[in-house]
Amino acid sequence: MKKPFSAAITGISHYLPEQRLTNADLEKMVETNDEWIRSRTGIAERRILEDGKGTSYLVNKAMDILLEQKSLDPKDIDLIIVATITPDMIFPATACLVQEYLGAKNAWAFDLSAACCGFLYALVVGAQFVETGAHKKVAVIGADKMSSVVDYTDRETCILFGDGAGAVLLEPAEENMGLHDFILHADGSGKKHLNQLGGGSLHPATHETVDQKLHYIRQQGREVFRFAVPSMAEVSAQILERNGLVGKDIDLFVPHQANKRIIDGTLKRLNLPEERAAINIDRYANTAAGTIPIALSEAVEQGRVKRGDTILLASAGAGYTWGSALLTWAY
Ligand code: UT7
């Protein structure tokens, strides 16, 4: 179906807190070691946002950079979507806090919860409003303060996550530019393998839920790994195939950064060399909704992306959710 408009990323930025948590630091906190973490995950360190600041702080910082880069008046933003599983509070939405901070008086704003697929989901949702002509400027942000939901006595999860945010601006573009195609999936049967049970309406916070540590992430790593590798590889291969492309047509592959071994498995399936991928898991670990826009933003900053490049995004995470998106870089 032909769309009235194309939606393209016309600006991108990211923000990472300064404080580093290294593998050596974690060795002092739990029974683990640098060699295990590096060889099993590819992670060397992650960034941690200080206490007293929430995810909106990360988003605000990333948006400040984006607005300056684009010389954009916040009043011109039509819609703000924040993809996050670590909102500042249950309600109001973090996107509303951001809307107020920015003074984006003409924007409506909401959060989207799709864990590590959050940015992909939000990008596709935001693009619909541009493609129909309803909106001209949509801000889509992927951000998480994962350190706020990590149990730093659980060695199986605490090594994996970090904090960070990436933001993009979506605007109408020429027909052959921007988002071309997407594939998004969900399978709620994955809920038992990766979740945070406490604090919602099913298990409202009580002394008992806190004693049982239900406010922390729980993951059966091996199960999630078994799901993530084929899912991300399959959904990436599928979107290429249905667009008549092969691996070597991709100028930059931006995968979710959960585990270097998951990324390697996908690269192998696509027959893509590592040089074509944006990989920063060694420095930032898994920032959930933040990983893809942060990695893409860094690649743009490093001059690795030029107008007309074909870019593939892919992710898999809690829900389960997984998906891919194919775009042509527009600026
Ligand atoms: O973005 C959200 C989606 N999440 C993911 O995609 C994560 C997917 N899963 C993974 O990345 C991997 O499963 C992990 C990195 C979480 C774990 O790697 P693994 O190769 O699957 O290890 P494992 O869970 O099979 O554990 C192997 C061994 C176990 O010991 P035994 O039972 O073999 O004696 C663990 O107890 O490693 C042990 N272990 C550790 N050892 C040192 C687990 N965590 C650690 C640790 N340090 N931090």
256 is catalytic: yes
Domain coordinates in residue numbering, the chain: 6-177, 180-328
* Residue 34 near ligand 1, beta carbon < 6 Å: no
Q: What is the pLDDT of residue 86?
A: 98
Q: What angle do CA 172, 174, 175 make, to 5 degrees?
A: 105
* Residue 232 near ligand 1, beta carbon < 6 Å: no
The top-level CATH class assigned to 6-177 is alpha beta
Q: How many residues does the chain have?
A: 331
**Strands, sheet with 178-186, edge to edge from the N-terminal-most edge strand:** 178-186, 321-328, 310-317, 252-255
Predicted TM-score (pTM) of the model is 0.97
Nearest to 295 by CA among 95, 66, 39, 13: 13
Q: Is 24 helix (H, G, I), strand (E, B) or coil?
A: helix
Tens digits of residue pLDDT in 148-206: 999 999 999 999 999 999 999 999 999 889 999 999 999 999 999 999 999 999 999 99
* Pairing state between β 108-112 and 310-317: unpaired
**CA 327 to chain CA centroid, nearest Å:** 16
286 is catalytic: yes
State the amino acid at position 320 in one-letter form.
Y
Burial grade of 292 (CB within 10 A; 0-12, 13-18, 19 or more):
buried
Both structure tokens of 210: 């806190």
* CATH of the structural domain 180-328, one choice from 3.40.50.720, 3.10.300.10, 3.40.47.10, 3.40.50.150: 3.40.47.10
Confidence band for 1, pLDDT divided at 50, 70 and 90: low
Q: Which helix (H) or strand (E) holds 295?
A: helix 291-301
Catalytic residue among 14, 135, 193, 256: 256
Average pLDDT, the chain: 97
What proportion of the chain, given as a percentage, has pLDDT over 90? 98
Q: Same CATH topology for 6-177 and 180-328?
A: yes
* Residue 2 near ligand 1, beta carbon < 6 Å: no
Tens digits of residue pLDDT in 12-22: 999 999 999 99
What is the C-alpha end-to-end distance of the chain, expressed in Å? 25
Tens digits of residue pLDDT in 202-251: 999 999 999 999 999 999 999 999 999 999 999 999 999 999 999 999 99
117 is catalytic: no
